[in-house]
Structure 1
Amino acid sequence: MEQDEKRKSRATEAFFGRRKGKALRPKQAAQLERVRNERVIDLAEHPPADLRDLFDQPVDAVRLEIGFGGGEHLHHESGRFPKMGFIGVEPFVNGFAKMATALDEDDRPNLRLYDDDATELLNWLPDNCLVGIDLLYPDPWPKKRHWKRRFVNDANLDRFARVLAPGGLFRFASDIDTYVTWTLQHCRRHPAFQWKAAGPQDWRTPYDGWPGTRYEAKAIREGRPPAYLIFQRV
């Protein structure tokens, strides 16, 4: 698609790597196009003063998931909490297409989506508009020379601090030890975030209602136990 071709030269590609995998089947492509037309947030429009007005049905508050992959967790959570508004970001076309298929089979009227760079969405959002941000199994960029591409950095934590309401939660899960340590170091030195763990079980235990993901199951099979971190906006 022309839209996808334009994005290839974007400097913001650094955070998330490639855009597209194998070709979509015609039905998947049709589902994807329909969801893009109906659900994707248009940043050319001004954000609502109250972000809850972004949704067609009344919601009590709004959460954001960055990099939802195939959408297992986001689709699950938006079903568990129908009175919560959810925004999901995923630039990888094939992952976005999986979410489109899931919505075609089991709709979520409390869910909006964005299929480009999450930092642009964060810049667009109003202050103190979110009660939670999830960053679950992001690309770890394991080589040291690529660490600057990791989504957790000082600039993005500043963005999180601006859009999270006081008391809001930033949740980070990963099976890559160096990225877990990296995130702890960055968040613990940031004045807006407080790590909520009281002991080892707090970061070894999955989040309440956690459905698991295919990636996580593979990591566990390969001997990489995940860490589940929670930081509170102070």
Structure 2
Amino acid sequence: MDTLLPRIGLPSDGLIDPAALLPACDVQVLEIGFGGGEHLVAQAAARPLAGFIGIEPFLNGVAKALTAIDADGLDNVRLARADAREILPRFETACLDQIYLLFPDPWHKKRHAKRRFVQPETRDQFARLLKPGGRLRIATDVKSYADHCMIELTGDVRFAWQAGNAGDWRQPPADHITTRYETKNLGDCAPVFMDFVRV
């Protein structure tokens, strides 16, 4: 936290341009709420020419990710310990090729639904940040959250849902990295994978 995070952290103010932060990378990817960093680190290790930015509010998750980044010697990752909703407006427009939002806090109770990450405001940020043809992947194991996301995104002409049949959302995508959290089966349904393309 004291030595590596200052070197690979996002700038504390001003615009954030992922291509400028990771100039050796030809693809720019954002993971929101990366937890312990298992998915983020594994993706970054598998795709060394892609730049990965991870945003996570919790200290323990950031510390775990930093440990793995250091152990693997990865130089294509940048991190921020923050609430992504506060940082997304600082990103350049159309700067990302892919966004991951995997198993976010579902806020089960109806009165708490407004706290869910996927809201009209964040949907607008996804649309602003993704390049044309860029991809958004949301995964959840909570049926009500899957329904919530589908309502927010399938009704927006800026996004095209990529599912052609039920298997497309019931089976993990070929490039998916399963994390320990996912294997705990804490939700009320099997994982649902929703892939959208920015039109």
In the alignment, residue 32 of structure 2 is paired with which amino acid?
I
Is structure 2 residue 4 aligned with structure 1 residue 35? yes
CA distance in 2, matches of 1:107, 1:68: 19
Cα deviation digits, residues 92-139 of structure 1 (max 9, x gap):
001111101112211210111111121222101111110110000000
The alignment partner of 2:67 has SS state of helix
1:167 matched residue in structure 2: 133
Counterpart of 1:107?
Answer: 73
Please give the per-residue CA displacement for 1:182-207, whole angstroms capped at 9, x wherever unaligned: 00010011121111100000001112
Are the counterparts in 2 of residues 152 and 183 from structure 1 also a CA contact under 8 Å? yes
Select 1:229's aligned residue among 184, 194, 198: 194
Kindly state the Cα deviation for residue 81 of structure 1 after the two structures are TM-superposed: 0.7
Q: CA deviation at 1:224?
A: 3.2
Match of 1:207 among 173, 176, 184: 173
- Of all paired residues, the percent bearing the same amino acid is 41
Alignment deviations for residues 120-166 of structure 1 (CA, whole Å, 9 cap, x no partner): 22101111110110000000000110000000011100011011001
Specify the structure having the higher radius of gyration (Cα). 1
TM-aligned CA deviation for residue 223 of structure 1:
6.7
| Cα pair 1:43 1:121 within 8 Å, conserved | no
Flag structure 1 segments of 5+ consecutive residues without an equivalent. Answer: 1-31
**TM-score, reference length from structure 1:** 0.81
Q: Deviations over 1:157-180 (max 9, x none)?
A: 001101100110110000000000
Question: In structure 2, the residue corresponding to 1:173 is in which secondary structure?
Answer: strand
Measured in 2, the distance between the counterparts of 1:180 and 1:203 equals 10
Which residue identity is paired with 1:141? W
Structure with the higher helix share, 1 or 2? 1
Partner Cα distance (2:148, 2:21) in 1 = 34
Contact kept in structure 2, 1:193 and 1:231, CA below 8 Å? yes
Q: Gapped runs of 5+ residues in structure 2?
A: none
Q: Distance in 2 between matches of 1:179 and 1:37?
A: 35
Out of 151, 154, 159, the residue aligned to residue 193 of structure 1 is 159
| Alpha-carbon distance in 1 for matches of 2:15, 2:131 | 20
Contact 2:141 2:192 (C-alpha < 8 Å) held by counterparts: yes
2:64 alignment partner, one of 85, 93, 98:
98
Change (3 A) 1:184 1:46: closer
Runs (4+) off by over 2 Å: 45-48
Partner of 1:14: none
Q: Could you say what the CA RMSD is over the residues aligned between the two structures, in angstroms?
A: 1.4
Q: 1:35: how far off?
A: 2.5
For 2:14 and 2:151, locate their aligned partners in 1 and report how far apart those are by CA, in whole Å.
36
Specify the alignment match of 1:3 in structure 2: none
**Aligned pairs for 1:110-129 within 5 A:** 110-129=76-95
1:154 to 112, 120, 139: 120
* 1:211 positional shift: 2.3
Matched residue, 2:105: 139
Instruction: Please state whether the residue corresponding to 2:185 is helix, strand or coil.
Output: helix
